[in-house]
């Protein structure tokens, strides 16, 4: 059969994202909900985003850069959860306790992301310093200073105690040393 002279060869445009970095981050977060960060690969994230494996390198030069970006996004999401919990509790002392409960619940709902943030080298050796410079870290510091002003004591030490309590409880539950028990979270954190 002869080709019709009126036939126009239309080339299908190459697949292109308007904001590939955002899509790669979303796919990375989705994959972290299914597995641990160590088993995640750049190639897998690219495939999930529907782009070639080489496309990801325009936004993340290596896996470490992607993991660091995912960890920073995780910290931002943690801060949102904590802020919402504090506001729902009315702020103040009740709000401070609510941020702690939100921390543990965030860890239990997002175990791979939580471990990426706090138990890996994704943020470099200074993860604690990186966390202090986030909204979640600022909330912890501000709440601890307000509590110290209310009842006395050293605000910095109160911040360390509060973080140690909620982080320790989260890790004990994640590691199966304590049950994932909502009532226990409420009782332990107040």
Q: Which of 24, 19, 141, 128 has its CA nearest to residue 75?
A: 128
Plot region of 43 (φ>0 → left; ψ -120 to 50 → alpha; else → beta):
alpha
Q: Is the same domain home to 101 and 50?
A: no
CA 148/CA 156 separation, integer angstroms: 9
Q: Are residues 107 and 155 in the same domain?
A: yes
In tens digits, what is the pLDDT along the chain, a chain of 190 residues? 444 444 444 443 334 557 899 999 999 999 999 999 999 999 999 999 999 999 999 999 999 999 999 999 999 999 999 999 999 999 999 999 999 999 999 999 999 999 999 988 888 765 555 566 788 899 999 999 999 999 999 999 999 999 999 999 999 999 999 999 999 999 999 8
Are residue 84 and residue 177 in the same domain, yes or no?
yes
Looking at the fold, whether 90 and 147 belong to one and the same domain comes out as yes
Whether residue 9 lies inside any domain: the answer is no
User: What is the pLDDT, as a whole number, of residue 1?
Assistant: 42
Q: Are residues 56 and 108 in the same domain?
A: no
Is 80 found in the same domain as 28? no
Whole-number Å distance between alpha carbons of 151 and 149: 6
85 and 20 inside one domain = no
Looking at residue 190, its pLDDT comes to: 87
> Tokens 């994704």 belong to which residue?
122
Residues 106 and 185 in one domain: yes
What is the reported pLDDT for 122?
A: 85
Domain boundary among 61, 87, 115: 61
Domain count, the chain: 2
In a domain, 172, yes or no: yes
CATH for 43: 1.10.10.60
The DSSP output letter for 5 is T
State the CATH number of the domain containing residue 163: 1.10.357.10
| 178 inside domain | yes
Q: Are 26 and 97 within one domain?
A: no
Question: What residue numbers bound the domain in which 41 lies?
Answer: 16-61
Co-location of 179 and 120 in the same domain = yes
Token pair, residue 116, equals 């990426």
Are 50 and 76 part of one and the same domain? no
Q: Give me the pLDDT at residue 80, please.
A: 97
- CA 40 to each of CA 17, 24, 64, 141: distance values in angstroms, whole numbers, following the listed order: 22, 12, 11, 33
Same-domain pairing of 97 and 161:
yes
């Amino acid at each position: 059969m002869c080709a019709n002279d009126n036939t126009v060869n239309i080339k299908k445009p190459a697949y292109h994202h308007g904001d590939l970095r955002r899509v790669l981050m979303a796919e990375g977060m989705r994959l972290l909900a299914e597995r641990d960060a160590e088993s995640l690969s750049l190639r897998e994230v690219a495939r999930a985003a529907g782009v070639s494996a080489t496309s990801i390198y325009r936004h993340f030069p290596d896996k470490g850069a992607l993991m660091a970006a995912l960890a920073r996004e995780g910290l931002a999401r943690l801060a949102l959860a904590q802020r919402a919990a504090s506001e729902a509790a009315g702020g103040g002392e009740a709000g401070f306790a609510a941020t702690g409960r939100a921390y543990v619940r965030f860890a239990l709902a997002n175990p791979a992301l939580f471990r990426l943030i706090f138990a890996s080298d994704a943020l470099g050796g200074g993860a604690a310093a990186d966390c202090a410079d986030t909204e979640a870290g600022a909330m912890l510091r501000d709440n601890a200073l307000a509590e110290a002003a209310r009842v006395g004591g050293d605000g910095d030490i109160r911040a360390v105690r509060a973080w140690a309590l909620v982080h320790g409880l989260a890790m004990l539950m994640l590691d199966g040393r304590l049950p994932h028990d909502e009532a226990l979270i409420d009782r332990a954190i107040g």
